[in-house]
Each structure stands twice: as C-alpha cells, then as structure tokens.
Amino acid sequence: MSFRQFSSGSSSKAVATPIPPPLPPPRTPARFTSSLPCDELSALVHEKGEEGGARIPESVLSTPRMVRDAVYSYVHPQDQSKDAYLLSWNKEFAKTLGVDKNKLERSQWSEEEYDHLVKVLTGGARTLSAADYKNTSDGPRLAQPWALCYGGHQFGYYAGQLGDGRAISLYETVNKETGESWELQLKGAGKTPYSRFADGYAVLRSSIREYLCAEFVAALDVPSSRSLAILSTKTQVIREEGVEPGSIVCRVAPSWVRFGNFEIFFYRKDRKNLRKLAEYVTEQVFNLPKDNPEEMTTFAMKNRKNDINMTTTAPEPVITKESATTATEGAAEGAPAAESSPKPAYRNRFAKMFEQIAHRTAIMVSGWQAVGFCHGVMNTDNMSVLGLTIDYGPYAFLDKYDPAWICNHSDTEGRYAFQQQPGICLWNLGRLALTLENLIGAQERVDELEWLELQESDPEKEQHLKEAAQNIIVDILNKNFREVFLKDYRRRMNAKLGLGGPEQVRDEDLTKILVPALSWMDDYEIDFHQFFRDLADYKVQKAETLEENMDQVKQLVKRLLPPVVWQTRGSAAVEESRSWLAAYHTRIVESDELRDDQKRRSKMNKINPAFVLRNWVAQKVIERTTESVRKTREGSQEDDPDKDLLDRVLWMCQHPFGEETKEPTETMDIDACEVKRNNTGLEVYGEFVGPVPEWGQGIQCSCSS
C-alpha cells in the first residue's frame, strides 16, 4: 500500500510524513502555520538540542500557560488510539473534502487503512521531533498540529486569553477539483496551552451533538463548519453529570480564525501581530488584493489637497471626524467655514475585509432566525470571520415559537435568547471593528508603516485614526450587516411561506403576513417547524377570499394548536388568525404561479424540514448510542439495533426535507434510513418525526454541553 508523502512547512527541519487514505493529502507547507507567528516555546520543542544540551520538554505542549506574541502553538494530540474505534464516517462530506472517490465508503477501505485512520484521528499518529522521528517506525505521523491562541468577550465581558482548549488542528488540505481549502481539526484530543483548568477531552454526549448539528445546519443552507468523523475512545471523562465515555470529533472548516484572534492582540496592544493576522485574513482567507499604491496616491492627491506632505516628521494632516465637515477652499484661506459634505473616505483592504465579515455574519444569523436555531453561546471567541456557525455547545432548535427562548441555562440573563441573536452579532462586530479602527482609519496611508507607527505612538493622533474609521465602520454595519440581514431574512421567510423567490418579495409580506403570523404563533404556542409544514397543505383552490375557505382555516388551526390549547382557546385562535391568513390568501390568489397548490406545497416542503434535530431527538440518539458503545466495549453478543444509528440519523440531518412519492404507503430504503409517507401525506423519518413528547419540550443545555 502506498502512502502520500509530505513535508511540514511549519518548521525549518521538514519531516517526511505519510498520510494514509482515506484521509485527503495535506497542503504543504501549511498555509496558516507558515504565514503567522508561532508560540516560540512550543516551536523549540521540535528543535534538536545542542550537543549534550537540554531540550525543551515535550510536556510544555500540553501545559496550560500564558502565550505571548503568537497566533498559535504547536501541540501534540494526546494518544487515545488504544481501543478506539470509528462510530460514524461522513461519506457525503468526504466527497466535498476531496477524498479519493474510491475511498468514500468504509466498505472500500482495507483493514490497515481503517486502523491508520482511527490512529490519526485519535492522536496515535502524533508529532515527534525530527530526531525522534528517525528512530520511530510505528505508524503514520502528522507534522506539528497546532492550537489557536485567542481572547474574547464572554457574556459581554472581555475574558483575556482563551484559545483552543480541547481543539487541535491536524493539517490543511485542498480539494484538487474545486480548489477549496479545508482545515481538519480534532475536538477532544487532549490538553493544550489554552486548556486552563480543563482536561482537553470531549464526552460522547457533546461530540454527537456537534457531529450531527453541523451537518443539519449546512443542509438547511446556513453557513456552518462541517463534520467528517466521530470516534469512541476508551477515555473516561469526569463532568458535572459524573463519569462519561470519551469521544473525538473531526470537524472541518476553511479557516478557524475567530473575532477573538484579533481581540487578544488588540487588548495586549500588540499592533504588529494584529496587522500580521489582518494581512493573513485579507490575503489568504478572503483572497483580497493588495491596495494599489497608484490608486491610493491618486486618491490622496485628489481628495487631500490641503494635507501636508506625507513624512514621518510632518504635522498631523487633517482627518475627518465622524461629525466634521470638509472645509472649503475659502476656509483654508481664512474665510468663514461653510457647511459641506464630509471628505471622501478611502476603503482599504482592511475595511473591505470587515465588509466581508459583516456580510457573511448577516447571512449566517438571518439563516439562524429563519430556521429557528439558537446558538446559545455567542461569545466573540465563537464567532467565525467566515460567518460560519461554529462551536456547537448548548444549541437548540425552537419547539413552540417563543422569541424570548433561552436554550442555555447558563445564560441567566437571557443575553443570547433567540430574538437577541441579530443584535448580538452586531455587538460582536462592533468588538471586532474596535480592533481594526487604526488600520481602517489610516485609509489610503495604511501601508506607510513609519507614518502609521507615529500616529499610534501619540494618543491624540491615534484618536484621529479611530475617528476617521468611525464613518466607514458605521456605513459598513448599515449596508453590509443591517441591510443584508433584512434582505436575506425576508428572502428566506418568503420562501418558507411559499410566496415565491427574491424577486417576488414585497414590503407587505413582512408587515401584514410574517410579523402577525409569528405573533399569533407565540400567543398560541405553535410549533415553529410544524407551522410551515402544515401551512404547505393549505389550499386556496377556487376560493377568491378567505371567507370562502373557512373550513380549511379551522382544520389548519386545529392541526397547529396543541390539543389543550385547541380545547380552551380554539375559537379565539381561529378568529385571530384571520388577519394574517386573509393577507396570505390574497397574496397567493393574485399570482397564477402561487395559486397552484401542489407546486406551492412542493416548493415549501423542499425548504421547510420534516425532520428537525430537536434537543429531544439529540438526547434519544445520545442515550441509545451511549448504550451501544457500552455493549461494544463489554463485548456483548446480543443484537444491537442501534449500532448504525448515528449513520442513519446523520443521513436524516443531511436529507431533512423528506422524499416526494406518488403513493402514500410507499417505503424507500436509502442508505439504511427508512423514509415513509404516512396517510396524512407527511414524510416520516421513523420515530424521530412527530409531535414533541412532553418530556422533551423546552430542553435546555449548559455551556459544558
């Protein structure tokens, strides 16, 4: 069997390292580690000591400590490979990742390939120094995995150094066909310098939640990190709930850089490394071009005629404040100043980077609100610069619609309640903007490093930079976050309501239909997801007005209301639904395209999921998978119907909308996941679709989830 070879670009002494299939080949050198400053102490561990001299002990890689002047530290995943085994492999995402098409299925692997994969993903192929590597031949080795150093605001307060306390990036890879870049990361792989008082492990419970939800969120067309594999380890992990089985998730994203990566340099006043990180994100993450010197010079000559020449010893040029206006030529000559518009602002590559981050964050959170997703811990260290949903902890999907729902019982003040999420994203973007003010405020002079250093060394001059950035930042947040969020949210909700594509969105769809309907759902404890599935069955037929269709209205309301609510408040619910349903009915009959009940239903059911990874579903999967793991480890010979449960539920997460079939009783067997249509026409995914059981309503999780 031939292994792919590569050399680590993150050390001056490259190490030839075999990577066995089915894992994709690494990028060499690693773009991230070869571009950004490393924790020097961890780098020294990999260097061969002087003749007879002492070496830095390897234990420093997993010793919690303060890390300075670095974006990352080299670490060694803890070897948990003994008696570890693969619980689930995501073959659908493996294809996206660029895995060899002949190695997508577990049935296509040799026993040796399976063993190598488990070993690599559980730390059994951990890095050794170049000297030690030469004397070792017991399996494939990855070159210098790393953990990120970052800070962050937690529940509104800056918390100092945080970092990857239990996440370790293995390597980067590139899909040769698509050119997409990906970074493989292990969660639960042991201690790092950022573990603080924690053990660096992950329990099976939290690993299952992240493994499934990342794929479910992605299937709902919301930007997310992805899942490649989940493994069971023999590690016994102590948590508040007691001793739990350990697990490792291999999760993947194009980049794991967060808002907090910028914050730690900002609060440490490390402007040099803050700029290095910003340069990396602009060039390598967003592929933004360098600012054109000629363009910047032309802009300066055209718009800054009254500024003095650009030398490091020159007085401070006039820089526009947020509320200031540009002086006229007469004012420059001593005449009274007249009101005029502010000076034009130059948006350099760092402002364009912030535009990208704001835009992507708006798309992400509009998706959350449209699909009823609550993140639970929207700290700035959990915010991706790529606008990806990351760090799945105490998340939840809405059961009954409640805009004030708090899914994290550690969030005692409701800071991250469902309705708060767009505002919190905006607040978090404000924290990120604070770190970039000097770079954005320098505008077309951002590459005059001596000049910029002079400004930053003088508090008064630095304040001018910050004030110059404010108008740019406010404009970006208005146009690239607020406007993008509203536009994308309305697009998503119109599609969920069956009111057509983006070109058919109307202002009254929001004011007369959506907002009143959500308020009605809140008042009558309507299940958020079932609302849209049942609404898809509403038929206008030949009825021109709602009054001609009241029998259907009553049937719809009865299906939507919980039985006890229908019995006590059914008549009021029907009456109060008239306002938004009348507008909805009228909106449909005005369009020949929307009036086709079957086509409208089909389109709605392709974006409103039949299967939802609710907390009660996740809990059932956790319980049954945990029991299956126990049986496997005890060598039980009894039949285990849950042995492939994770694979089956993963398929449901990736295909949550059901299958259209002609016959209500037809059953299809797809990848061992049974998909049916019951006699009401609703696609049923076994036991995990249907009314939320009483015990499963409103389940909350904690930050340790």
* Together in a domain, 544 and 418: no
* Most confident among 19-33, 53-67, 152-166 (mean pLDDT): 152-166
- pLDDT > 90 in the chain, percent: 75
The Cα 408–Cα 273 span in angstroms is 34
- 592-603: per-residue pLDDT in tens? 899 999 999 999
Mean pLDDT of all residues in 435-454: 97
Give this prediction's pTM.
0.89
Q: What are phi and psi of 527, to 5 degrees?
A: -65, 125
* Together in a domain, 377 and 485: yes
* pLDDT score, position 659: 63
Tokens standing for residue 237: 């992990």
243 has a pLDDT exceeding 50:
yes
* pLDDT score, position 688: 87
Q: Say which DSSP state 273 is in.
A: H
The Cα 660–Cα 675 span in angstroms is 10
Q: Which residues are bridge partners to 74 per DSSP? A: 146
- Among the three residues 256, 283, 299, which one is the final residue of a domain in this structure? 256
- Among the three residues 495, 514, 545, which one is the final residue of a domain in this structure? 495
Mean pLDDT of all residues in 507-518: 96
The angle formed by the CA atoms of residues 704, 162 and 14, to the nearest 5 degrees, is 110
* Residue type at position 411: D
* Together in a domain, 424 and 544: no
Q: Which residues have C-beta within 8 Å of that of residue 400, sequence separation ≥ 6?
A: 521, 525, 526, 527, 528, 562, 697
Q: Which domain holds residue 553?
A: 501-535+537-605
Q: Which residues are bridge partners to 278 per DSSP? A: none
* Together in a domain, 200 and 61: yes
* Together in a domain, 165 and 202: yes
Instruction: State the pairing for strand pair 667-670/396-397.
Output: unpaired
* pLDDT score, position 314: 31
* Together in a domain, 689 and 571: no
**Which residue did the predictor score with more confidence, 303 or 134?**
303
Mean pLDDT of all residues in 72-79: 94
3-state secondary structure of 412: coil
Segment among 14-23, 538-547, 586-595, 661-670 with least mean pLDDT: 661-670
Q: Which secondary structure element, helix H or strand E, spans residue 673, and what is its range?
A: strand 673-677
Nearest to 167 by CA among 181, 186, 180: 186
Query: Model confidence at 337, in pLDDT bands (50, 70, 90)?
Result: very low
Q: What are phi and psi of 389, to 5 degrees?
A: -75, 120
* Together in a domain, 620 and 566: no
- 192-217: per-residue pLDDT in tens? 999 999 999 999 999 999 999 999 99
Nearest to 229 by CA among 259, 263, 194, 185: 185
Segment among 56-70, 83-97, 321-335, 427-441 with least mean pLDDT: 321-335
Residue 273 lies in a domain: no
**Which residue did the predictor score with more confidence, 544 or 699?**
544
* Together in a domain, 31 and 107: yes
Mean of the per-residue pLDDT values for the chain? Answer: 86
Handedness of CA 96, 102, 106, 111 (dihedral sign): negative
**Which residue did the predictor score with more confidence, 158 or 43?**
158
Let me know if 671 is exposed, middle or buried by CB neighbors in 10 A (0-12, 13-18, 19+).
Answer: middle
The catalytic residue positions are: 381
Residues in the chain: 705
* pLDDT score, position 126: 65
* pLDDT score, position 547: 94
64 has a pLDDT exceeding 90:
yes
- Among the three residues 576, 605, 634, which one is the final residue of a domain in this structure? 605
Residue 150 lies in a domain: yes
Residue 291 lies in a domain: no
330 has a pLDDT exceeding 50:
no
Residue 437 lies in a domain: yes
Tokens standing for residue 632: 């496997």
3-state secondary structure of 284: helix
Cβ-contact 595, 585 below 8 angstroms: no
- pLDDT > 70 in the chain, percent: 84
SS (H, E, C) 220-271: CCCCECEEEEEEEEEEEEEECCEEEEEEEEEEEECCCCEHHHHHHHHHCCCH
Cβ-contact 140, 118 below 8 angstroms: no
SS (H, E, C) 506-547: CHHHHHHHHHHHHHHHHHCCCEHHHHHHHHCCCCCCCCCCHH
Query: Model confidence at 676, in pLDDT bands (50, 70, 90)?
Result: low
The Cα 467–Cα 319 span in angstroms is 8
For the packed helices 421-441 and 259-267, what is the interaxial angle rounded to 10 degrees?
Answer: 50
- 387-436: per-residue pLDDT in tens? 999 999 999 999 999 999 999 999 999 999 999 999 999 999 999 999 99
Q: How many CB atoms lie within 10 A of CB 467?
A: 17
Q: What are phi and psi of 48, to 5 degrees?
A: -75, 130
Backbone angle region of 398, left / alpha / beta, with phi > 0 → left and psi within -120 to 50 → alpha: beta
Report how many domains make up the chain. 4
Q: How many CB atoms lie within 10 A of CB 211?
A: 27
Tokens standing for residue 371: 């699909």
Residue 407 lies in a domain: yes
* Together in a domain, 116 and 164: yes
* pLDDT score, position 462: 96
* pLDDT score, position 133: 40
Query: Model confidence at 677, in pLDDT bands (50, 70, 90)?
Result: very low
Residue 61 lies in a domain: yes
Residue 594 lies in a domain: yes
Residue 270 lies in a domain: no
* Together in a domain, 623 and 598: no
* Together in a domain, 28 and 134: yes
Q: How far is CA 284 from CA 6, 31, 326, in A?
A: 21, 8, 37
- 474-511: per-residue pLDDT in tens? 999 999 999 999 999 999 999 999 999 999 999 999 99
* Together in a domain, 475 and 505: no
* pLDDT score, position 679: 47
